[in-house]
Amino acid sequence: MSDAVSTDRSAVGSNGPLDGLLVADFSRILAGPYATMLLADLGADVIKVEGPSGDDTRTWMPPVRDGISTYYLGINRNKRSIALNLKDDTDLALARELADRADVLIENMRPGGMARFGLDFDTVRASNPGIVYASISGFGSTEAGAKMPGYDLMVQGISGLMSLTGDPEGQAYRAGISVFDVMAGMHATIGILSAINHRHTSGEGQHVEVNLLSSALSGLVNHSSAAVAGDVTPFRMGNAHPSLFPYEPLPTADGEIIVIAGNNGQFRLLCEVLGIPELAEDDRFGSNEERTARRDELKPLLIDALAAHGSTAWFERFRAAGLPGGPVYTVPEGVAFAEQIGLEPVVEVGEGTPMPSVRNPITLSATPPSYRYAPPSLDEHRDEVRAWLAGDRD
């Protein structure tokens, strides 16, 4: 449907599964840029449209690499940047031309915001009927939801996640990452790919809408199911699980190790590894339901056994036995462990002095993700994109 941006850069051809797909990215911050980076890694040609001052995350620092926000760097590789002032008639005309040529448009303005510039779904679809138009908001496009600004922290609180996070006797905590921004970005990606598949058979585009609160309620899985199907109000349990035991970090001789027994077989194996096989034959702990109900009796018995060795030694024994569980690492230690087991979590992006970046988590045997461009500087591709938009479509 669309023509890719013509340049002399040899890396344009990705050979990825989305090669030839043109994405007009009017999003900013996290959810939208994360979605478009996933699409770009899979071969899509993503044009990142920024305002004159750039994506907000360019200023979200520290930490930095070479003076650039690592927050921005983490979600904007494989894209080209053009700065357009949508309040300027010339720039707005270029933005509309990009929307007319795109296969996908993604935006996360407050609902109704794109209509001010004639870039809303209905207007774009009138001249580009095949457009897959994705909108990400905080609370949806209803009259009440549209009035609310959408920030991940708000949604963590309103969805109930914070009521589940933290010490049972302490205050509620946010998750350590903007978990629902990331989740909404993934949901948007799924919706976009679903709409593209529908377009292959129908020739028609459609409007994909994702909001953080709906993503949050879906992502709360067993807890939201407990609320709507079980008439239960889940509550904060620290690191404990409401429906499984053991399933939490427990102290060892020198730290903590995560201990998991998801079924009776794993519990028997855990008892063998810990040197207390008789515990698996104890009628009090014969099923997960019984172990969970009697966690206060079982937990000190496991802690006593774990005191015999340190966390590293137990982790080695768990791994040797095929038993789930592991240490509580820092993020750098987590990256190092992924390297140790051969996952190659770090890729080099860009030419000259490549930038290290976290690998796309998707593995495809025939059309793998590619890492073609480092995250662009603001308006880096101004000349080539403007020239292309000003030229003929053929």
Written as tens digits, the pLDDT of the chain (394 aa) is 555 554 333 344 568 999 999 999 999 999 999 999 999 999 999 999 999 999 999 999 999 999 999 999 999 999 999 999 999 999 999 999 999 999 999 999 999 999 999 999 999 999 999 999 999 999 999 999 999 999 999 999 999 999 999 999 999 999 999 999 999 999 999 999 999 999 999 999 999 999 999 999 999 999 999 999 999 999 999 999 999 999 999 999 999 999 999 999 999 999 999 999 999 999 999 999 999 999 999 999 999 999 999 999 999 999 999 999 999 999 999 999 999 999 999 999 988 889 999 999 999 999 999 999 999 999 999 999 999 998 877 6
Is the CB of residue 1 less than 8 Å from the CB of residue 99? no
As given in the structure block, the two tokens for residue 100 are 């007319």
CA distance 168 to 179: 21
- The pLDDT of residue 6: 44
- The pLDDT of residue 8: 37
Nearest CA among 185, 144, 184, 180 for reference residue 162? 180
The gap from C-alpha 351 to its chain's centroid, in whole angstroms, comes to 26
Burial class of 340 by CB neighbour count within 10 A (0 to 12, 13 to 18, 19+): exposed
pTM, two decimal places: 0.93
Q: CATH 3.30.1540.10 occupies which residues in the chain?
A: 247-340
Domain 247-340 adopts which CATH fold?
formyl-coa transferase, domain 3 (3.30.1540)
The vertex-32 CA angle with 1 and 332, nearest 5°, equals 125
**Cβ neighbours of residue 390 closer than 8 Å, sequence gap 6 or more:** 94
Active site residues: 181
Q: CATH 3.40.50.10540 occupies which residues in the chain?
A: 22-220+345-390
Domain 22-220+345-390 adopts which CATH fold?
Rossmann fold (3.40.50)
Place of tokens 């303005």: 109
CA dihedral 72, 74, 80, 84 (to 10 degrees): -20
